[in-house]
Amino acid sequence: MMTEISAILNMLEGGFSQFRVLVVGDLMLDRYILGEVERISPEAPVPVIRHAERYERPGGAANVAMNLAGLGCKTFLAGLWGDDSDQAELAKLMESAEIDTTGVLKGSLPTISKTRIIGRTQQLLRLDIESRDKPAPIDLERLRERAVALTSRMHAVVLSDYAKGALTGEICHAVIAAARAAGIPVLVDPKTSDFSKYAGATTVCPNLNELSMATGVPAYETTQLIAAGEKLLDPHQIDFLTVTMSEKGIRILSPGASYHSPARVRQVFDVSGAGDTVIATLAACLASGLQRETAVDLANVAAGIVVGKLGTVPIAHHELIAALTPSSGTASGEKILDFDRVQLRAAEWRAAGETIVFTNGCFDLLHVGHITLLEHCRSFGSKLILGLNTDASVSRLKGPSRPVVGERERARVMAALAAVDAVVLFDEPTPLELIQALKPGVLVKGGDYTVASVVGHEDVLANGGRVEIVPTVEGFSTTNIIKKLTVSA
């Protein structure tokens, strides 16, 4: 899974910001009213909810844009909204996420909104405000022109079709043709059974029910449904289908081949917006040139994160970094970071709510005392960053005959340990600069120290962290090992 993990982490840690992605589609405002249900109304057999909280989030194509922005992409949005208070609220949310809305036009219809009333975690009622009328032809023509003009400046385009009228066949065909002419991928989230509307797209991303509508094969007959889906590709000149299969994962269907990415098992809390997260992640990956199989794997991880949240919540790149960098599942080479990258990694982990632990040392010849220290470090938090003295630094501390093992080899050995999440070399006499830059929540030192004598303790305590002292394991040290080897020789 995800053989391009290094490229993915590079992208998530700033690289996606190089890419521009346009989302064209139906814009909505999702409103949530939360409270407690304490009784049944005496006026009618309905629950009475005592209001506790209300908030708004972008929905539909606007949520796709929010996911792209959360991944770090430069995001552009094109669509229609009204001239009303919901439009003002949605525009404010887009602005706060730094999403470019020059492609969004004020049409003659009201802004689409969906209000969900939730008691504790149970949705009790949904109120949709939208017109049954179609957008005015002049509004659609202006939208087509604006979307096509923007497409030539992008690295990828997403057509987010919620069947609310913004994505007509003419607009879809025009945007797809412009994207193809520009040599960029165009991805479609479909809401119609006629895939000819999306002819020429790089990929169309239906769920099982949407694929069932397009093929006429029942959604529960998975094998026959997949076979029927493959037959849609050639007539509509679609490069591949990306089929989301709920708890079964995501499957790529392409001529003569397929790829299946199993679902990443998590507790499902709310599936709202999961499809938006999938297509946004796919678009970001394809825009950056990652392989489509890698893109699907990453989209699967992202979807697994957002379904564990209440409501329409976009993915954030720090959440993906935290999910992709468990110490037990990351190759040792991916854990060895330079100063700038370890700063970024630490910032992403903090944003994801991880407790960062920092310790440092020479770790010349690994022994049980080192292992004990690292086990204690792991018990103090969820992410462990190890500051490792360079060869020059070790020589200054231990003498010209040290280290026995070079810094590259020592870094690889330490990074291979399951307890360690990141290794960074430092050449300074102390790791103070690293500690100040990384802002760990827990600073750990092994040996006969007091908190006041540990380098960096002031900074950690000032940031609300703590210092832990792990006693040395008697009888175990690199110096003793070297002495034994010398005597044996």
Is 209 one of the annotated binding-site residues? yes
On whether the CB atoms of residues 59 and 86 are closer than 8 A, the answer is no
To the query of whether residue 276 is one of the catalytic residues in this protein, the response is yes
Give the Cβ contact number of residue 331 at 10 Å.
Answer: 11
Structure tokens at 10: 């590079």
Domain residue extents for the chain: 1-28+61-106+134-324, 336-487
Could you read off the pLDDT tens digit of each residue along the chain, which spans 489 residues?
Answer: 455 666 777 777 776 889 999 999 999 999 999 999 989 999 999 899 988 889 899 999 999 999 999 999 999 999 999 999 999 999 999 999 999 999 999 999 999 999 999 987 788 999 999 999 999 999 999 999 999 999 999 999 999 999 999 999 999 999 999 999 999 999 999 999 999 999 999 999 999 999 999 999 999 999 999 999 999 999 999 999 999 988 788 999 998 778 998 876 555 444 566 889 999 999 999 999 988 998 999 998 888 888 776 666 788 777 887 777 765 556 667 789 999 889 988 988 887 788 999 999 999 888 888 888 898 898 899 899 999 999 999 999 988 988 988 999 999 999 988 889 999 999 999 999 999 999 999 999 988 788 999 999 999 999 999 999 988 766 556 666 666 666 655
DSSP state of 197: G
Is 210 one of the annotated binding-site residues? yes
Query: What is the predicted pLDDT for the residue at 331?
Result: 63
Q: 345 Cβ partners below 8 Å, 6+ apart?
A: 13, 321, 325, 337, 385, 422
DSSP of 433-487, one letter per residue? HHHHHH--SEEEEESS--GGGSTTHHHHHHTT-EEEEE---TT--HHHHHHHHHH
Instruction: Quote the CA–CA distance of 198 and 195 in Å, as a whole number.
Output: 5
Is 463 one of the annotated binding-site residues? no
Long-range contacts (CB closer than 8 Å, 24 or more residues apart) made by 456-459: 456/430, 456/431, 456/432, 459/432, 459/435
Q: How many residues does the chain have?
A: 489
Task: Provide the whole-model pTM.
Answer: 0.73
Neighbour-count burial of 43, counting CB atoms closer than 10 A to its CB (0-12 exposed, 13-18 middle, 19+ buried): exposed
Give the Cβ contact number of residue 84 at 10 Å.
Answer: 16
Query: What is the predicted pLDDT for the residue at 484?
Result: 65
Of the candidates 302, 339, 331, which has an alpha carbon nearest to the alpha carbon of residue 317? 302
Buried b (16+ CB within 10 A) or exposed e, 426-463: beeeebeebbebbbbbbbbbbeebeeeebebbebbeee
Query: What is the predicted pLDDT for the residue at 449?
Result: 86
Query: What is the predicted pLDDT for the residue at 482?
Result: 61
- Taking 3-state DSSP, the helix, strand and coil percentages for the chain, each rounded to the nearest 5, stand at 40, 25, 35
Cα–Cα distances (Å) from 470 to 113, 347, 394, 450, 454, in that order, read 56, 26, 21, 10, 12
* Omega before residue 185 within 30° of 0, cis: no
Query: What is the predicted pLDDT for the residue at 369?
Result: 83
Structure tokens at 459: 């900074």
User: Which member of 26, 100, 139, 276 is catalytic?
Assistant: 276
On whether the CB atoms of residues 136 and 106 are closer than 8 A, the answer is no
Instruction: Quote the CA–CA distance of 371 and 289 in Å, as a whole number.
Output: 40
On whether the CB atoms of residues 164 and 130 are closer than 8 A, the answer is yes
Query: What is the predicted pLDDT for the residue at 476?
Result: 58
Give me the CATH code for the 1-28+61-106+134-324 domain, please: 3.40.1190.20
Of the candidates 315, 279, 80, which has an alpha carbon nearest to the alpha carbon of residue 185? 279
300 — alpha (psi -120 to 50), left (phi > 0) or beta?
A: alpha
| Domain 336-487 class, CATH top level | alpha beta
Query: What is the predicted pLDDT for the residue at 213?
Result: 95
Query: What is the predicted pLDDT for the residue at 174?
Result: 98
Q: Hey, what amino acid is at 108?
A: S
* H or E element that contains 284: helix 274-287
Is 145 one of the annotated binding-site residues? no
